[in-house]
Amino acid sequence: MTGRAWHASAVTVLALMTSAACRSGPRPQPGDPMLDAIRAEEREGKLTYVESQGRRLFVHYCATCHGDDARGDGQNASNLNPPPPDMTVSRMSQDPALTRRVIAEGSAAVGRSPLSPPWGRSLSQQQIDYLVAYCQSLGRETP
Ligand code: HEC
């Protein structure tokens, strides 16, 4: 094989490997120690990498109602009835399936007011995974 042909096929193999990894690679799980070590500089405080990603999304999309720290004190909270709960004490964040449903389908989907909007069509599954992980971290006791 000539040098050039070898190079071309090596590039093809690499490209195939990379695209396969993107399609079928496992999603990062909350608290994956390897991921946390590699992306250490992207973590905030005691949060894992995945929870930190969720926090960033939360501050961007949700904080206007929920507040930056999810305490129910966002700029728009006083206009809402019922107001957003303090998610650091609410028991709901302990139930990831229910939390995911509220985020993806809106609070009305679990028999509550329609005030928390559905995000299932505007955020990706991965973004919703991150948000669920962040919501769950809120109820965690930090020493
Ligand atoms: C327009 C204001 C508003 C926005 C934006 C909003 N929410 Fe809400 N959210 C609420 C309100 C109000 C409630 C309480 C609804 C009720 O009890 O009927 C709520 C409830 C929730 C709950 C249930 C919490 C609990 O402990 O009971 C979750 C989870 C939640 N929202 C997640 C989110 C996430 C994640 C986002 C951003 C992607 C978001 N919300 C954006 C207003 C909002």
* CATH at 96: 1.10.760.10
Q: Give me the pLDDT at residue 15, please.
A: 52
Q: Before 118, cis peptide (omega within 30)?
A: no
Number of domains making up the chain? 1
Distance 116 CA to ligand 1 centre (A): 4
Within the chain, residue ranges assigned H as helices are 3-24, 33-38, 49-61, 63-66, 96-105, 125-138
Q: Give me the pLDDT at residue 41, please.
A: 84
Q: Give me the pLDDT at residue 93, please.
A: 74
Which among 116, 124, 138 is the best mutation to test ligand 1's pocket, defined by most ligand atoms within 8 Å of the CB? 116
Q: Give me the pLDDT at residue 99, please.
A: 96
Residue 121 and residue 105: Cα distance in Å, rounded? Answer: 9
Q: Give me the pLDDT at residue 5, please.
A: 63
CB 135 within 8 A of CB 119: no
- For residue 9, being part of any structural domain is answered with no
3-state helix, strand, coil in the chain (%, to 5): 55, 0, 45
CB 120 within 8 A of CB 128: yes
- For residue 56, being part of any structural domain is answered with yes
Q: What is the mean pLDDT of each run of 10 residues along the chain (143 residues)?
A: 59 50 55 86 90 97 97 97 95 89 97 97 98 92 58
Q: Give me the pLDDT at residue 39, please.
A: 87
- For residue 78, being part of any structural domain is answered with yes
